[in-house]
Chain A
């Protein structure tokens, strides 16, 4: 363990704590405050997007239309996806990055603190615009989060607002990732070579490059939609010589790396937690780095596996099938290494560990269905059915969201200075895990039996599993209120020590809990026990 924790307040006469009142948050350039804002924002979006999921699952609980019209149902599926992807999962990881990356590499703050402020405050504006479309003539976007033309061009007044809010989300993400890259490359503690960096920092570095590479592609695609709609171009309109399939290629060139943008930091979080609670170093740290890099590279050459039914040339289908199957190799390495980390450790099962273990189990199930989806002829049957819905919810909910929860519980004592309520945390874990499976596992059967996704009503043979899924969804939604209860009571627990857990190895555990407003004003010295070798 390192010892050099700067006692900032006494060393710097010109130093100051947080500003008073609302100004502390509006004008903040402090990575911890901005991280907190990202996390709180993400939680709010998680509940808004979750409420939309409740509308969807309530309508689908039994055959027939009970609550909403098909138009509104489509608005709900579209908005649920946009909000969960861009509003809940991505900002949560940026929040964790803001809080933890400087602490884990021994930096005093993010490299570009004013841009940090800006990249956060763009988000509430973007989502304010997006949510306001619910009240516009024609309603919110209803063409699916994938925004395929020509359907998306039938959106009402909401259309330009949708495009503008996606642009804003992209700008925010790009600024956030520039910040992450500059911070990691330039501000590591002197002895922290790249391969000594903790896995969470590594996976975020890779994620940030992915974001910079693909968010402009998305921006380009939606801008072409905008000009097709308002300025007489025909990029995607067959009548004017354009090609609707080209949009899908461009979208998924963004969309597939986006999938890994949402899962790589999750890999990072569980790669921190499993070693701590196994009391054993992460198995194969370097090969984990290489595996994550491989996954990131492969993510750029598999996009058309979302498009096996659009009528691609045969050789194209073969290429995208083989490339997709290859992803199983580095992903397998990751899973095997986590299991090897647990192997012959001395495990304890606090809430962060429980969420991480569930992550390994359930993400693997999502990986299995992903492997099946890679087989092109079988994908023709699975494509756009509930099998796909089951697949991506398995990797996103007990995958990304569970990792975010795990990270939140893991670092909460560092943030608040108090131990959270462990019993409540465990109840939250078990209810979430049971209900998440009750929700999404039956969807595999629905898809295989022939139920298409994005339909507000279905034939009666799909009734039973839909009812089960709806019960699970409502249970999962209610379970998340327990997380709010954990947060609200988080200051009541016992005082947390600096280490919090049993001999964790990364730098954030060398500063006091709660982490002071300013940390690492002088860079820490690493000794041999820090890092992973």
Chain B
């Protein structure tokens, strides 16, 4: 609705059919912690809106009332210790109110103990490698063929005609719903960063360091993200795709992957 309004205002009508959903706000995501992160974000946002309404309200009132053209005489006051104490103390209280729930969420985010499964995520220029711990499954995940043609400079293919342009890969990560998945994130060359907004996880992949993070997805679906740390010329072309499936489907996928690996080994 709004999009079409803006587009028509700007006279931009070249909207294709393959456009993914359009968003104004952070996604609520599909994990408990992504929901909490979203709530923290909205808490911060509404505090800012509230403070902004008061400060800008006073300022706008003053801009209209206290102007020379309306014939006012300027007041002479230049300080008030009471006022200074009040507007130092109130922000401190607000900050404490914001800090407490934030710290609680941080404690949960850090708790990667007792995972159901672990995946080693390794960044390369410019693709991801996934290795499922304790299984033989390991594979590279690169930008999908469908985006490759359209991403070239001066390409004939219209990006709008490509489904999930730049956000699709050849081999997605597959994880079971409801499992606590621990990610061990590292890199083989420069620093990358593994991000899926719907999982509210972003972790830098740093050579020589193994970072740890985790998620537990509550809903099946395909969740897309990108590398978020500048890693060279194709930084914009190494997406992350996570498919959350039912546990049975995951077992079947794992089975077929393992067999493929065995065939390849023979």
Contact B236 A456 (CB under 8 A): yes
Among A238, A342, A471, contact of B208 (Cβ-Cβ < 8 Å): A238
Contacts of B77 on A, CB cut-off 8 Å? Answer: 280, 283, 344
Determine whether the beta carbon of B55 is less than 8 Å from that of A154. Answer: no
Of A22-30, A64-72, A412-420, A519-527, the one contacting chain B is A64-72
Which B-chain residue is minimally distant from A373 (CB atoms)?
A: B44
Shortest C-beta distance, B128 to chain A (Å), equals 15
Report A62-80 residues with CB < 8 Å from chain B CB.
Answer: 63-71, 74
* Proximity bits, B196-233, A CB within 8 Å = 1, else 0: 01001111101111011000000000000111111111
Q: Name which of A150, A345, A371, A450 has the most chain B CB atoms within 10 A of its CB.
A: A450
**Contact across chains for B165 and A333 when beta carbons are under 8 A apart:** no
The reply to whether B91 and A459 form a contact with Cβ atoms under 8 Å apart is no
Interface residues as binary, B69-93 with A (CB distance below 8 Å gives 1, 0 otherwise): 1001111111110011001100110
How many whole Å from A334's CB to the nearest CB in chain B? 10
Contact with B84, one of A238, A317, A333, A468 (Cβ below 8 angstroms): A333
Interface residues of A in 292-316 (CB under 8 A from B): 309-311, 314
Pick from B73, B190, B204, B212: contact of A151, CB under 8 Å: B190
Is there a chain A Cβ closer than 8 Å to B52's Cβ? yes
CB atoms of A471 and B10 under 8 A apart: yes
Q: Does chain A have a CB within 8 A of B24?
A: yes
When C-beta atoms are compared, the residue in chain A nearest to B239 turns out to be A459
Q: Which residues of B contact A332 (CB under 8 A)?
A: 87-88, 91
Q: Name the distance in Å between B245's Cβ and chain A's nearest Cβ.
A: 22
Task: Identify which of B73, B74, B78, B208 contacts A284 (C-beta below 8 A).
Answer: B78
B113 at the interface (CB under 8 A from A): no
A508 to chain B, nearest CB (A): 20
Q: Are A74 and B225 in contact (CB under 8 A)?
A: no
Please state if B44 and A346 are interface contacts (CB–CB under 8 Å). no
A310 to B206 alpha-carbon distance, docked (Å): 8
In the bound complex, what is the Cα–Cα distance between A287 and B231 (angstroms)?
44
Known contacts: A346-B68, A384-B228, A467-B10. The answer to whether A280 contacts B200 by CB under 8 A is no
Beta-carbon contact of B202 and A381 below 8 Å: yes
A517 beta carbon closer than 8 Å to chain B: no
In the complex, residue of chain A having the shortest beta-carbon distance to the beta carbon of B49: A368
CB of A51 within 8 A of chain B?
Answer: no
User: Are A383 and B153 in touch, CB under 8 angstroms?
Assistant: no
A357: Cβ under 8 A from any B Cβ: yes
Assuming A285-B79, A364-B52, is B98 touching A342 (CB within 8 A)?
no
Binds B, one of A253-261, A319-327, A396-404, A429-437: A319-327
> Which of B69, B95, B235 contacts A455, CB < 8 Å?
B235
- Give the Cβ gap from A451 to chain B, nearest Cβ, in Å: 8
**Once the chains bind, are A343 and B66 in contact (CB under 8 Å)?**
yes
A238 to B19, CA, bound (A): 42
Which stretch of A141-149, A195-203, A217-225 is in the interface?
A141-149
With a CB–CB cut-off of 8 A, which chain B residues contact A471? 10
Q: Complex: how many Å from CA A348 to CA B69?
A: 7
Given the interface pairs A329-B95, A448-B25, the reply to whether A380 lies near B200 with Cβ below 8 Å is: yes
A533 at the interface (CB under 8 A from B): yes
The B-contacting residues of A in range 366-408, CB under 8 angstroms, are 368-369, 371-372, 375-378, 380-381, 383-385
Q: Do the beta carbons of A448 and B66 come within 8 Å of each other?
A: no
A371 contacts across to B, CB distance below 8 A: 44, 47-48
How far, in whole Å, are A310 and B27 apart by their CA atoms in the complex? Answer: 22
> Contact at A335–B55, with CB atoms within 8 Å?
yes
The stretch from B104-112, B130-138, B171-179, B247-255 touching chain A is: B104-112
Complex CA–CA separation, A83 to B237 (angstroms): 27
The distance from the CB of B227 to the nearest CB of chain A, in whole angstroms, is 7
Among the stretches A5-13, A93-101, A239-247, A484-492, the one at the interface with B is: A239-247
* Residues of chain B within 8 A of A242, CB atoms compared: 208
Partner of A287, one of B84, B152, B226: B84
Out of B19, B37, B235, which one reaches A381, CB within 8 Å? Answer: B37
Give the residues in chain A near B83, CB-CB below 8 Å. 284, 336, 340
Shortest distance in angstroms between A224's beta carbon and chain B's nearest beta carbon? 16
Q: Which of B92, B190, B211 contacts A311 (CB 8 A)?
A: B211
B181–chain A nearest beta-carbon distance, Å = 17
Within the complex, which residue of A244, A348, A364, A384 is in contact with B68, where a contact is CB–CB below 8 Å? A348
| A246 CB to nearest chain B CB (Å) | 11
Residue pair A63, B154 in contact (C-beta under 8 Å): no
* Residues of A close to B226: CB separation below 8 A: 450, 452, 455
Q: Is the CB of B236 within 8 A of A458?
A: yes
The answer to whether B261 has its CB under 8 Å from any CB of chain A is: no
Residue A159 at the chain B interface, CB threshold 8 Å: no
Given known pairs A280-B75, A340-B83, the reply for A65 and B153 (CB within 8 Å) is: yes
User: In the bound complex, what is the Cα–Cα distance between A287 and B165 (angstroms)?
Assistant: 53
Could you tell me if A454 and B230 are in contact, using CB atoms closer than 8 angstroms?
A: yes
**Quick check: is B6 within 8 A (CB to CB) of the other chain?**
yes
Q: Which residue of B76, B95, B203, B212 contacts A328 across the interface (Cβ within 8 Å)?
A: B95
A238 to B211, CA, bound (A): 14
A311 & B41 in contact (Cβ 8 Å cutoff): no
In the assembled complex, the CB of B141 is this many whole angstroms from the nearest CB of chain A, namely 17
B264 proximal to A (CB < 8 A): no
Contact flag A464-B79 (CB < 8 Å), given A150-B191, A333-B87, A348-B68 = no
- Interface residues in B144-187 by Cβ distance below 8 A to A read 150-155, 158-160, 162, 164-167
Query: Which residues from chain A contact B72 at a C-beta distance below 8 Å?
Result: 344-346
Given contacts A71-B233, A142-B233, A384-B195, 14 further A-B contacts (CB under 8 A): A151-B190, A279-B68, A284-B79, A284-B80, A333-B88, A344-B72, A346-B73, A347-B63, A448-B23, A448-B24, A452-B195, A460-B160, A460-B162, A461-B20
List chain A positions with a Cβ less than 8 A from chain B. 63-71, 74, 142-144, 148, 150-151, 154, 238-239, 242-245, 278-287, 309-311, 314, 317-318, 321-322, 325-326, 328-329, 332-333, 335-337, 339-340, 342-349, 357, 360-361, 364-365, 368-369, 371-372, 375-378, 380-381, 383-385, 445, 448-450, 452-461, 463-464, 467-468, 471, 532-533
Residue pairs across A and B with Cβ atoms less than 8 A apart, 18 shown, are: A69-B233, A238-B206, A245-B206, A284-B84, A311-B203, A321-B102, A321-B106, A333-B87, A343-B62, A346-B67, A364-B52, A375-B40, A377-B102, A381-B200, A383-B228, A385-B228, A455-B235, A455-B236
- The 7 A-B pairs of least Cβ separation, nearest first, read A238-B208, A455-B236, A368-B48, A311-B211, A449-B23, A344-B75, A63-B159
